[in-house]
């Protein structure tokens, strides 16, 4: 088993995104027979997260990754298991929000079918079930838009056949300071030794 933990304390990005602590925990176990791995994000959390001066509480889902009994492993890749289910729901949640921006509709277009996700080679979902406290009209699923700053993506999980990447905060800034930034990222890939 591989466990990767990333802890960021005292986060402050341009006085817009602040947190006392951001913790990303990713545990991945590969079976000895070379089959499909199982993963867990238990222990990941946001501590005292403020966005644009407002305290935001991301409520994390308990079953983003399918649970497996001790010693049991999935019989198919994460691309085809229940991890595929949260992905369309992230799209649906973000696309049902009033005033959602067009770029968000376009970004989630590729998740509309299982075949499209398989061709892409990975699935993307979010640990965030809902955001409590975000300014009205600023949040769309797990995404928060801050005018004159950019877009903040919370609790993103990418999974391919044998690899997982958890990013607790990803910023796409489009203000006087342009660029992207990731905070609290954990990666795991590979397989067991032969």
Side-chain-side CA neighbours of 143 within 13 Å: the count stands at 23
Q: What is the pLDDT of residue 84?
A: 37
Q: What is the pLDDT of residue 6?
A: 93
Q: What is the pLDDT of residue 88?
A: 38
Could you report the per-residue pLDDT of 132-166, keeping only the tens digit for each?
998 877 888 888 999 889 999 999 888 777 788 89
Could you report the per-residue pLDDT of 4-41, keeping only the tens digit for each?
899 999 999 999 999 999 999 988 877 777 666 777 88
Q: What confidence tier does 56 reach under pLDDT thresholds 50, 70, 90?
A: very high
193 pLDDT above the threshold of 60: no
Q: Is the separation of the CB atoms in 77 and 37 below 8 Å?
A: no
- The token duo for 172 is 């796409």
Q: What is the pLDDT of residue 180?
A: 84
């Amino acid at each position: 088993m591989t466990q990767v933990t990333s802890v960021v304390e005292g986060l402050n990005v341009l006085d817009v995104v602040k947190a006392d602590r951001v913790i990303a925990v990713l545990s991945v176990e590969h079976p000895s027979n070379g089959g499909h791995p199982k993963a867990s994000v238990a222990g990941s959390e946001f501590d005292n997260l403020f966005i644009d001066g407002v305290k935001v509480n991301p409520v994390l889902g308990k079953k983003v990754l399918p649970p497996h009994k001790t010693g049991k492993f999935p019989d198919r890749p994460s691309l085809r298991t229940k991890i595929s289910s949260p992905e369309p729901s992230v799209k649906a949640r973000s696309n049902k929000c009033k005033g959602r921006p067009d770029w968000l509709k376009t970004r989630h277009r590729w998740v509309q079918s299982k075949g499209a996700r398989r061709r892409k080679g990975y699935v993307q979902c979010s640990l965030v079930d809902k955001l409590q406290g975000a300014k009205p009209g600023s949040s769309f699923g797990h995404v928060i838009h801050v005018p004159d700053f950019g877009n903040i993506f919370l609790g993103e999980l990418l999974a391919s056949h044998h690899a997982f990447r958890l990013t607790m905060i990803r910023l796409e800034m489009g203000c006087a300071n342009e660029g992207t930034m990731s905070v609290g990222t954990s990666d795991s890939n590979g397989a067991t030794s032969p």
